[in-house]
Amino acid sequence: MASRDVVHYDSPAQRLLRVLSVIFVVFYLIWTLLPFGVMFVSSFKELLDAFKLPAIGDWAGIGVFFDFTPTFKHYNTLFSENNFGRYMLNSLIAAGGSAVISVIFGSLAAYALSRVDFRGKSDLFFWIISTRMAPVVAVMVPLFAIFRSLGLVGTLPGLILAYTTFNLPFAIWILKGFFDNVPYGIEEAQMVDGATRFQAFRSILPLVAPGIGAFIVLCVLFAWNDFLFAAIIGSGGAKTLPVATRELVQPQNIQWGAIMAAGVVTTAPMMLLGLVIRKYLVTGLTMGAVKE
């Protein structure tokens, strides 16, 4: 059996390029990860410790960064005084609610667009995605006016609806591609076996699960990290984590410790979600289903 290694012959220039690219990646990692590191460490420091810095050029003084007694003070403040438990729940409900609604309607619409031919289908399909082409800010004012007259401003249902408006077209586009890859023969076999059209649709959902998983992650990320909708539509009654964090910056007093802790509370769940779902996303199920 032949070796499966990719055979490689480097010229000196290519070797140099390889070294340079490693250096670039190292700097890039420092650039992207250091802020998270600082945030994480600072959230466990007293305010005075957090701002202790070595003199410029004093590389030996770097130990100052780690010279502190860990404290959960800031986390206590967040959850006892600042009501962050509530805001976290709001974020969770808004992100999860819009993800669930978008998946339900999105998969139904995507299935229809994938399986049924009708006049104006391509126009409709384009029109669906075109709602994502305008910048969010551009539609914010009219959207706010509509939401206010419907009494949805400052409520969780309002926020869920706002996120769904933006996530649904996305869901339809992603899921249609996945449905297109499922052979129609499987549903036909189901229907001959005795299934209704809807049961046949449900039976192929496991085959588009990777698509649904990918979409849920993207949808939750969008809603969880969103600031604009949360600040304007959700302001007041449906405050989410980013908005609540922003409010820790007060004119007289920037609560750095609490802000750092809030940052950790906001980012950690999304990172965990990414880790948990990663394996699931790359699992393909349709392989070998049908002889082509």
Partner 1 sequence: MATVTIKNVWKYYGKTPAVKDLSITCPDGSFVSILGPSGCGKSSTMRMLAGLEHISAGDVMFDDMRINDLAPKDRDVAMVFENYALYPHKTVFENIANPLRLRKMPEATIKDRVLGAAKVLEIEHLLDRRPQELSGGQKQRVAIGRAIVREPKLFLFDEPIAHLDAKLRAHMRGEIKHLQKTLGTTMIYVTHDQLEALSMADYIAVMHDGELQQWGTPSEIYNKPVNAWVAGFVGEPAMNFLSIDIQSRDDDVTLIHPNFEIPLLPRQVAFLNGAANGGKARMGVRPDALSIGMQKPVEPSITGEIFVNELLGGDMLVEVKLKDCRIRVKTSTDFEGRPGETCYMTVNRDKWHMFDAGDGHAYF
> Which positions touch partner 1 (CB under 8 A)?
183, 185-186, 188-196, 199, 203, 206-207, 285-292
Nearer to partner 1, 5 or 292 (CB): 292
Rounded-to-integer distance, Cα 235 and Cα 237, Å: 6
Q: Which of 269, 251, 218 is nearest to 87 (CA)?
A: 269
Distance in Å, CB of 276 to partner 1, minimum: 21
Distance in Å, CB of 214 to partner 1, minimum: 17
Nearer to partner 1, 20 or 285 (CB): 285
CB–CB of 162/139 below 8 Å? no
Rounded-to-integer distance, Cα 99 and Cα 170, Å: 11
Distance in Å, CB of 100 to partner 1, minimum: 22
- How many of the other CB atoms lie within 10 Å of CB of 125? 17
What tokens does 147 get?
């939401």
Distance in Å, CB of 209 to partner 1, minimum: 8
Distance in Å, CB of 284 to partner 1, minimum: 10
Nearer to partner 1, 23 or 285 (CB): 285
| Phi–psi pair at 19, nearest 5 degrees | -60, -45
Per DSSP, 249 falls in state: B
Distance in Å, CB of 119 to partner 1, minimum: 13
What tokens does 185 get?
């023969």
CB–CB of 156/93 below 8 Å? yes
Nearer to partner 1, 83 or 199 (CB): 199
Nearer to partner 1, 8 or 291 (CB): 291
Sequence-separated (6 or more) residues with CB below 8 Å from residue 236: 153, 154
Nearer to partner 1, 9 or 118 (CB): 118
Per DSSP, 289 falls in state: S
Rounded-to-integer distance, Cα 42 and Cα 236, Å: 29
